[in-house]
Chains A and B, each alone.
Chain A
């Protein structure tokens, strides 16, 4: 631990230019994160060209604070409108929205903001202390390690879906199915494209996500336009958590933060999965699992603590090994290389000021995020009472812009609209949307890792049980699958 370097970097951030960058980055990140269809990845990608002309230190401060802000801002729309502002806030919609609809939007947002803050702080502590040893462990991960890890995540997700397990599975399989067209990960050739070249790149995550979550909600809201809105009293009580709250939720908050940090470290598995795993864990060990999905405080805390924790977690492999821990990290690597800074084992030696700038920014942006969000939440919470006829067209516009801006193709806009209709129909059939998106995201990763592994071993699948990590992940997956069934059985037996 190198406190001198840390304080040096913090001192540098509190000079005019870097602090300006930090403020702008965090505030813009929150706003963009809050807007469904605009993600942190997009904001950072669009900002990247501007950083060509900046000092590397300022550029890094700007980009990392955007990252922190964007992951946090997503909870606002997730809570108030059941539209995840960023993919990472999907899990927050399950409990944040019901709580807000029941007349406690302030409380729901306050829980989310504080959990985000605590998650960010805890993960930052890990980033500061154990960057090197943990990243060395992560490089030992081969395809089978990744494959079993993803399978474990998928098992976790199967139990996330509210309602019938069968409908959850249908949803997950549909998600996996629509992820199949595009480039075959094992041969590089297009497949299942029906000779239609627009499908060569497959269906992109962002339009599918915006469609299933945002557009389907807009369709639903339009149909319900006459009935809305419920005019509950504007109520901002509970934005600040009391000491009692902290005591009550401490275990959940800390556990979820560590889950988020750990998942953030693993390359390719970003904030969305972190919050899914933490949420499921919280649900499985909760005394009130039946409240999850109906406005559970624990659910909001688990999701938000974990997704913010992934930010610092994902920076660990980026700094120590030059491996992106998330999509945004991949863009950050691009930003560093533009400034001729190569992330990797020698980065601490060669560009110590940049590394410490990133680490210090992760800390200070997190604090600034908490201040900005708690102080402005009373205004933001009022958004929910804006007439839908004003809000929906604006949101729809951003959905279209967001989908188009991703690749500059109208194709993605049509995909988004199509998945809006699909999402709407699935919901009508009481099929949950969560597993759909998770299946869509994870299936290609799992396939690629498994096929890489099989190419390496010439078709031998035994490393799954002969290597320690795959074996451990498989066992954990089985335990997690069996745990709810066993605890349910025990509860029933006790009741009988």
Chain B
């Protein structure tokens, strides 16, 4: 019996010491708080495959999709053992949820690890709307407040972007209507059920251009500007918001987080693996196809990015909850 106890104690010591040993000793879990198939999931899987290919991590990454509301998977990571084997991949929804009060936790309850794959948005209107610039759109929203119907997924990215847009001209007011994501808004705008929305750069290309890059004559909608710091490669003629005279940027990255108190060694190691993954051909092809910018952030730069995004998003998210 004593021998058995001794063995058990030895086993305990062995597992207890695991966290101190060389990281990683076992497969690393990356939790995607959405069902399989979405953009976040695709991003996670490309990073997983890229990390594998580059050989930057001696252990495989396993992807776990936790569906339902994204708060469920996020919370699971927040409450996970901070042993360096559980990570979360999520985007600006985490900040939106904290700002609107839909979540009772937020990005500061995690350790930031990495940020990658940025895309920005374009305000869209119908070609027959008589609106040719952001200025005209906002002027109309100011002259006739609460009449221009803005299709959005309320509380989500496109809603926040619409709110930030209307704040550029104080007094302007859209009527936000629950429509859904990009494809649903494309359909609603094409069917003239809505007057405006925002789409990602890649969606604008898919919905308004022919494959050779020329304008699709059947498209009934057009972009007005791009919310990135620079023009979007896929739409070189589309001015940025800054060029149009507005100090507005709205871009979305995939962020990787770890639970608080995760060992620095694991955070650095996983960030390095993600960075290596972004350098593979597979990842580069993926972001080109998706219209994402080749951005990679970690450490101090990531912290600054998170803070500036939060400064911009927090007041907007508060607006989202007002009727």
Return the contact of B155 from the options A187, A198, A406 (Cβ within 8 A): A187
Q: Across the interface, do B218 and A345 meet the contact criterion of CB distance under 8 Å?
A: yes
Q: Across the interface, do A201 and B190 meet the contact criterion of CB distance under 8 Å?
A: no
Please judge, given known A-B contacts A407-B65, A407-B66, whether A46 and B72 are in contact too, CB under 8 Å: no
Chain B positions within 8 Å of A197 at CB level: 71-72, 75, 104
Please judge, given known A-B contacts A345-B218, A456-B149, whether A142 and B68 are in contact too, CB under 8 Å: no
Return the contact of B66 from the options A350, A409, A456 (Cβ within 8 A): A409
Please judge, given known A-B contacts A197-B75, A334-B37, A346-B210, whether A139 and B67 are in contact too, CB under 8 Å: no
A154 CB to nearest chain B CB (Å): 21
* Closest B residue to A340 using CB positions: B289
A to B CB contacts below 8 Å, 26 in the list: A45-B36, A52-B45, A140-B191, A185-B178, A188-B100, A189-B101, A189-B102, A190-B71, A197-B71, A197-B72, A200-B72, A200-B102, A201-B68, A201-B69, A323-B184, A334-B42, A345-B216, A346-B218, A406-B35, A407-B67, A407-B68, A409-B72, A411-B72, A452-B178, A455-B177, A456-B193
Return the contact of A455 from the options B178, B190, B206, B320 (Cβ within 8 A): B178
4 smallest beta-carbon distances between A and B, as pairs: A188-B155, A201-B68, A407-B67, A200-B69
A335 vs B187: C-alpha distance in the bound complex, in angstroms? 20
Let me know if A365 is at the binding interface, CB within 8 A.
Answer: no
Chain A positions within 8 Å of B80 at CB level: none
Q: Across the interface, do B321 and A186 meet the contact criterion of CB distance under 8 Å?
A: no
Chain B residues 31 to 45 lying within 8 A of chain A, measured CB to CB, are 35-38, 42, 45
Chain B positions within 8 Å of A321 at CB level: 187
Let me know if B226 is at the binding interface, CB within 8 A.
Answer: no
A451 vs B323: C-alpha distance in the bound complex, in angstroms? 14
* Closest A residue to B176 using CB positions: A455
* Closest B residue to A195 using CB positions: B104
- The chain A residues found within 8 Å of chain B, CB to CB, are 45-46, 48-49, 52, 139-143, 182-183, 185-190, 197-198, 200-202, 204, 321-324, 330-331, 333-335, 337-338, 340, 342, 344-346, 349-350, 406-409, 411, 448, 451-452, 455-456, 458
A60 vs B191: C-alpha distance in the bound complex, in angstroms? 29
Q: Known contacts A188-B320, A411-B72; can you find 12 more A-B pairs with CB under 8 A?
A: A183-B69, A187-B155, A188-B156, A189-B100, A189-B321, A200-B69, A334-B37, A346-B211, A407-B66, A455-B177, A456-B149, A456-B193
Chain A positions within 8 Å of B186 at CB level: 322
Return the contact of B35 from the options A45, A183, A335 (Cβ within 8 A): A45
A331 vs B102: C-alpha distance in the bound complex, in angstroms? 27
A139 CB to nearest chain B CB (Å): 5
Chain B residues 278 to 315 lying within 8 A of chain A, measured CB to CB, are 289
Chain B positions within 8 Å of A458 at CB level: 146, 175
Chain B positions within 8 Å of A202 at CB level: 68-69
Let me know if B154 is at the binding interface, CB within 8 A.
Answer: yes
B156 CB to nearest chain A CB (Å): 6
Chain B positions within 8 Å of A185 at CB level: 178
Chain A positions within 8 Å of B45 at CB level: 49, 52
Please judge, given known A-B contacts A45-B37, A139-B187, A142-B191, whether A342 and B206 are in contact too, CB under 8 Å: yes
Return the contact of A344 from the options B155, B175, B177, B207 (Cβ within 8 A): B207
- The chain B residues found within 8 Å of chain A, CB to CB, are 35-38, 42, 45, 49, 64-69, 71-72, 75, 100-102, 104, 146, 149, 153-156, 159, 175-179, 183-184, 186-188, 190-191, 193-194, 206-207, 210-211, 216, 218, 289, 320-321
* Closest B residue to A183 using CB positions: B69
A321 vs B190: C-alpha distance in the bound complex, in angstroms? 11
A334 vs B38: C-alpha distance in the bound complex, in angstroms? 7
Return the contact of A323 from the options B66, B156, B187 (Cβ within 8 A): B187
A337 vs B45: C-alpha distance in the bound complex, in angstroms? 14
Among B65, B153, B156, find the residue whose CB has the most chain A CB atoms closer than 10 A. Answer: B65
Chain B positions within 8 Å of A411 at CB level: 68, 72
B310 CB to nearest chain A CB (Å): 19
Return the contact of B177 from the options A140, A190, A456 (Cβ within 8 A): A456
B292 CB to nearest chain A CB (Å): 13
A260 vs B249: C-alpha distance in the bound complex, in angstroms? 46
Among B35, B67, B68, B321, find the residue whose CB has the most chain A CB atoms closer than 10 A. Answer: B68
A464 CB to nearest chain B CB (Å): 15
A375 CB to nearest chain B CB (Å): 33
* Closest B residue to A139 using CB positions: B191
Q: Across the interface, do A344 and B154 meet the contact criterion of CB distance under 8 Å?
A: no
Q: Across the interface, do A198 and B72 meet the contact criterion of CB distance under 8 Å?
A: yes
* Closest A residue to B68 using CB positions: A201
Q: Across the interface, do A187 and B154 meet the contact criterion of CB distance under 8 Å?
A: yes
Q: Across the interface, do A188 and B154 meet the contact criterion of CB distance under 8 Å?
A: yes
Chain A positions within 8 Å of B183 at CB level: 322-324, 333
Q: Across the interface, do A190 and B102 meet the contact criterion of CB distance under 8 Å?
A: yes
A344 vs B186: C-alpha distance in the bound complex, in angstroms? 11
Please judge, given known A-B contacts A321-B187, A455-B176, whether A408 and B102 are in contact too, CB under 8 Å: no
Among B45, B183, B188, find the residue whose CB has the most chain A CB atoms closer than 10 A. Answer: B183
* Closest A residue to B105 using CB positions: A197
Return the contact of A204 from the options B67, B104, B179, B190 (Cβ within 8 A): B67
Chain A positions within 8 Å of B149 at CB level: 456
A337 vs B182: C-alpha distance in the bound complex, in angstroms? 13
* Closest B residue to A455 using CB positions: B177
B14 CB to nearest chain A CB (Å): 28
A183 vs B70: C-alpha distance in the bound complex, in angstroms? 11
A408 CB to nearest chain B CB (Å): 5
B320 CB to nearest chain A CB (Å): 8
Chain A positions within 8 Å of B184 at CB level: 323
* Closest B residue to A405 using CB positions: B65
Among A185, A338, A349, find the residue whose CB has the most chain B CB atoms closer than 10 A. Answer: A338
Q: Across the interface, do B67 and A201 meet the contact criterion of CB distance under 8 Å?
A: yes
